[in-house]
Amino acid sequence: MRWKRTIQLLDVHAEGEIGRVAIGGVPKIPGDTIADQLAWLNSDPKGQELRRFLCLEPRGAPIGSVNLLLPAKHPDADAAFIILQPDQAHASSGSNSICVTTALLEAGIVEMQEPETVVTLETAAGLVKAVATCRDGRCEKVKLTMVPSFVHELDVGLQTPEWGEIKVDLCYGGVFYALVDVAQIGLTIEKANAAGLVKAGMVLKELINAQVSVVHPEIPAISGVAYVMFRDTEADGTVRTCTTMWPGRADRSPCGTGNSANLAALHARGQAKVGDIFQSRSIIGTQFEVGLLAETIVAGRSAIIPTITGRGFTFGLHQVALDPFDPLADGFAMTDVWGPSAGEI
C-alpha cells in the first residue's frame, strides 16, 4: 500500500452515541498540557487537518466522535484523550469517557481487574475517575466522577426571530452548554422530532455565541457554548434530553457533560442536593444515571461534582488511511447528509 498515514480505530458506542477510539497511529500532538494540545488542535492548520481527516467524508461520518488516545501528562492518570468532532476538538464528554474506558479495558491497554477496575482519564477539563464494573473480560458499565460543574448564568433572555424571547441556562459540565426547556420551541424530545430539534439547536447556538461570551475561569482553552441541550422532565422525574451538535445532528446518548451542566443548574435552584440520584433518558430511550457527589468551588464560585453512569459496547475495529494522491485528503461535508450548516465546512 502507498498510504502516507494510517490510524487504527476501535469502534465503541455509549448508550447509542458512537465514540471511536484512536488506539494506534495517533501522531504526536504538541503541548505541555492536554489543554495546550486541545488549543493546538483547534488553531494549528496541521491539527485541523487531522480532525478533518478523521471526522469528515470520505473517511468520517456526521454521527459520532473520534477520541485521540494520548499519553497522560498528569502522574495520576492512566491515559489522556481529546474528542474530535466535525466542528472542532472538544475538552470533555461523558459518553466519550465511557467509550474510552471500555476501549482501554477491552483492548487490554489497561489491565482489567474483576469485579471493578479504576481508570483515571486525563482531559483538557481535568481528571475524570472511571470505575468500571467488569465480568468475564467485559466492561459491563462505567461510573464516571466528572470534573467540577457550575452555573455561568441562569435564565438568560434570548431574543429569537422564530420563538420570541426564550430563557436559557448557561452552565459548564466539562464544556459550556445552553440548556433550554424544550416546550419553549414547541417541540417534544422524541425521535420523530430530531430534525426539528437539531435545526432549532443550530439557530440558538449561533445566536447565543454572538451575544454572550463564556470562558472557563481557569482553563482559557475552553470557551464558547459548545452545544445546545434541550431538556424536559417526565412524570416519573426522569430528565429527558436532546443535545444538538454542529453541523446538524442529535446526540444519541443522554449526554454526560450536558447532564452535569444541568445538574449544576438544578443545584443552584435548590432542586438537587448532595446524594441525589436522577435518571436521564436520551432521545432514543437509552439512559444514564446522574448523581450529585459533592459540592466544591471553582474560581470563587459554587460548583458541584457530578457522577455519570452508563454502558459502553465495542462493535468493530478498523483502520483509516490516506492515499497521498487522494484529491479529497482534506475531507468534505454536504448539506444532504450533514444538514444546512455543512455549507460552512
Of these residues, 65, 92, 93, 97, which one is catalytic? 93
Q: Is 255 a catalytic residue?
A: yes
- C-alpha span between 326 and 4 (Å, rounded): 11
User: Is 279 annotated as contributing to ligand binding?
Assistant: no
Residue with cell 457527589: 293
**Direct distance between the N- and C-terminal alpha carbons of the chain, in angstroms, rounded to an integer:** 30
Q: Write the Ramachandran bin of 91: left for phi over 0, alpha for psi from -120 to 50, otherwise beta.
A: alpha
66 and 54 in contact (C-beta within 8 Å)?
yes
Packed helices 94-106 and 256-268: angle between N→C axes, nearest 10 degrees: 140
Spell out the residues 6+ positions from residue 52 whose beta carbon is closer than 8 angstroms to its own.
330, 331
- C-alpha span between 74 and 125 (Å, rounded): 12
Cis peptide preceding 324, ω within 30 of 0:
no
| Grid coordinates belonging to 55 | 471526522
Residue with cell 480505530: 9
Of these residues, 149, 255, 260, 280, which one is catalytic? 255
Say what the alpha-carbon torsion angle 191, 264, 181, 208 is, to the nearest 10 degrees.
Answer: -100
Query: How buried is residue 213: exposed, middle or buried, by Cβ count under 10 Å (0-12/13-18/19+)?
Result: exposed
Beta bridge partners of 310: 142
Per the document, the length of the chain is 345
Same fold, 5-145+313-344 and 149-310: yes
Spell out the residues 6+ positions from residue 194 whose beta carbon is closer than 8 angstroms to its own.
242, 250, 283
Q: How many CB atoms lie within 10 A of CB 299?
A: 10
- C-alpha span between 165 and 149 (Å, rounded): 26
Beta bridge partners of 150: 172, 303
- Predicted confidence at residue 227, as pLDDT, reads 97
Query: How buried is residue 37: exposed, middle or buried, by Cβ count under 10 Å (0-12/13-18/19+)?
Result: buried
Residue-by-residue pLDDT tens, the chain, 345 positions: 789 899 999 999 999 999 999 999 999 999 999 999 999 999 999 999 999 999 999 999 989 999 999 999 999 999 999 999 999 999 999 999 999 999 999 999 999 999 999 999 999 999 999 999 999 999 999 999 999 999 999 999 999 999 999 999 999 999 999 999 999 999 999 999 999 999 999 999 999 999 999 999 999 999 999 999 999 999 998 999 999 998 889 999 999 999 999 999 999 999 999 999 999 999 999 999 999 999 999 999 999 999 999 999 999 999 999 999 999 999 999 988 888 788 777
- Predicted confidence at residue 163, as pLDDT, reads 97
Packed helices 34-43 and 45-55: angle between N→C axes, nearest 10 degrees: 80
Residue with cell 464494573: 133
Q: Is 55 a catalytic residue?
A: no
- Predicted confidence at residue 9, as pLDDT, reads 98
Closest CA to 135 of 117, 120, 109, 121: 117
Q: How many CB atoms lie within 10 A of CB 273?
A: 11
User: Is 85 annotated as contributing to ligand binding?
Assistant: yes
Cα–Cα distances (Å) from 300 to 45, 151, 262, 296, in that order, read 36, 12, 20, 10
Domain extents in the chain: 5-145+313-344, 149-310
User: Is 258 annotated as contributing to ligand binding?
Assistant: no
- C-alpha span between 253 and 287 (Å, rounded): 7
CATH class of domain segment(s) 149-310: alpha beta
42 and 88 in contact (C-beta within 8 Å)?
yes
Domain topology for 5-145+313-344: Diaminopimelate Epimerase; Chain A, domain 1 (3.10.310)
| Grid coordinates belonging to 26 | 495517533
User: Is 251 annotated as contributing to ligand binding?
Assistant: yes
